[in-house]
Amino acid sequence: MPFIPPGRHPVTPATRAGLGAAVVLLAAISAVEIAQGGRPEFIGLLAAVPFMAAVFAFWRTVLSVGALTTAVSLVFTAMDGEVGMVGMVNVAGIMVATGIAAAMATVRQRQADRIAELLRLAAVAQQAVLRPIGPQVGNLAVAGRYISASAAADIGGDLYEALDTPYGVRIIIGDVRGKGLDAVRLASIVLGSYRHVAYERSDLRTIVADLDRAVARSVGDEDFVTAALLEERGGTLTIVNCGHPAPLLLRRGKVIALEPPAPAPPLGFVPVAEPRVERLEPGDRLLLFTDGLGEARREGEFFPTADRGWRLLGHGTVADGLASLETALIDWVHGRLDDDIALVLMEYTGHAEAPAVPVPSWEVGTAGS
């Protein structure tokens, strides 16, 4: 958001529209007066002109419009040949209307400035919570993207993070129940805890337990956070899912949903999640997303993520893939989303620095089959 000095405001399309509407109204009333032979029969209607300008314009513009309107009313009054009591009352009424309209414009603009400042602070808070990730984290090329359902502000409870830890690359994606600053606050608590324990705990299930306690201490009985935690080490991918949409594996033109072995509740409800383990191949891509993507629809038809996944996400860099997905999604819903969406796309480069962790055969998933 560009810096605007106090007391100064940019000329926006809305301001131009308000000024244009006021000028059109002034011209229309003047035309009627002229058609009536110049007698000041309708100049009282000119009081509406500054109010029209006040709907969108700033107070200085309203005063300018009011001054022009007052001058026009004086001209029509003088054309009558004599300045009577009625004419002076009309002119005075226009001047009073100008003052009131300017005051209304001032109050409106102060409220608009306050809302803009709150939205700016909310956006700053969101950016502080969701730090940029990628483009390379360990053996993974990674890109993240946040798509807000509101054009006014990017603020919500969707979260993600990617860290290169002693236990491999660890990634979390989550979705806080609710919206607004409370959701951002809880997302910051989850991410703050995760950024600490991801370096300290050797097991993802222990991290889940730590995050669950952090959520339970910070929310009410009906609040929760869905989350999926991933760990990549030496080409072995481990996924722990707590009530979150299953990640999508993109491999050789196919899109495979990596469903958990058993369902687990979200953070805040003491989840006991069973890990899913996969072997990655060089070039594999994995899409993590929040439920805003799964719920995006038009005319009751959901966005076909699985059907379009490879065509949208399998080309260029991972950042290119997310850009293509966002464009297709916005086009699908005609620019109207019902919920915020967090997206993380990663690609396994295959240049493992650490030896693969031995995995019992019964733990290996079937995505490659």
Q: Is the dihedral of CA 14, 16, 19, 20 positive or negative?
A: negative
Architecture category of domain 130-363 in CATH: 4-Layer Sandwich (3.60)
What does the DSSP 8-state code read for residue 314? S
How far the first Cα of the chain sits from its last, in Å, is 49
Q: What was the pLDDT predicted at 154?
A: 54
* Domain residue ranges in the chain: 13-124, 130-363
Q: What was the pLDDT predicted at 126?
A: 65
Per-residue pLDDT of the chain (369 residues; tens, 9 = 90+): 343 444 455 566 767 777 788 888 888 888 887 877 656 667 778 888 888 888 888 888 888 888 888 888 887 777 765 556 666 777 888 888 889 988 988 898 888 888 777 777 766 766 667 788 989 999 999 999 988 876 555 567 899 999 999 999 999 999 998 777 778 888 889 999 999 999 999 999 999 999 999 999 887 767 899 999 999 999 999 999 999 999 999 999 999 999 999 999 999 999 999 999 999 999 999 999 999 898 888 888 899 998 899 999 999 999 999 999 999 999 999 888 888 899 999 999 986 444 444 443 334 444 444
Neighbours of 123 (CB within 10 A): 16
Contact 90, 73 (CB under 8 A): yes
Tokens for 337, please give them: 């989303």
Q: What was the pLDDT predicted at 19?
A: 76
**Residue 154 to residues 151, 178, 183, 189, 307: CA-CA distances in angstroms?**
7, 14, 12, 18, 28
C-alpha–C-alpha distance, residues 314 and 300, integer Å = 27
Tokens for 18, please give them: 């308000």
Which contiguous run of DSSP H or E holds residue 271? none
Tokens for 354, please give them: 């650490």
Cis peptide leading into residue 135 (ω within 30°) = yes
Which of 211, 269, 204, 263 has its CA nearest to residue 239?
Answer: 204
Tokens for 105, please give them: 């414009």
Contact 172, 194 (CB under 8 A): yes
Q: What was the pLDDT predicted at 113?
A: 84
Which contiguous run of DSSP H or E holds residue 101? helix 85-129
C-alpha–C-alpha distance, residues 108 and 184, integer Å = 28
Contact 265, 226 (CB under 8 A): no
What does the DSSP 8-state code read for residue 353? S
Whole-model pTM above 0.85?
A: no
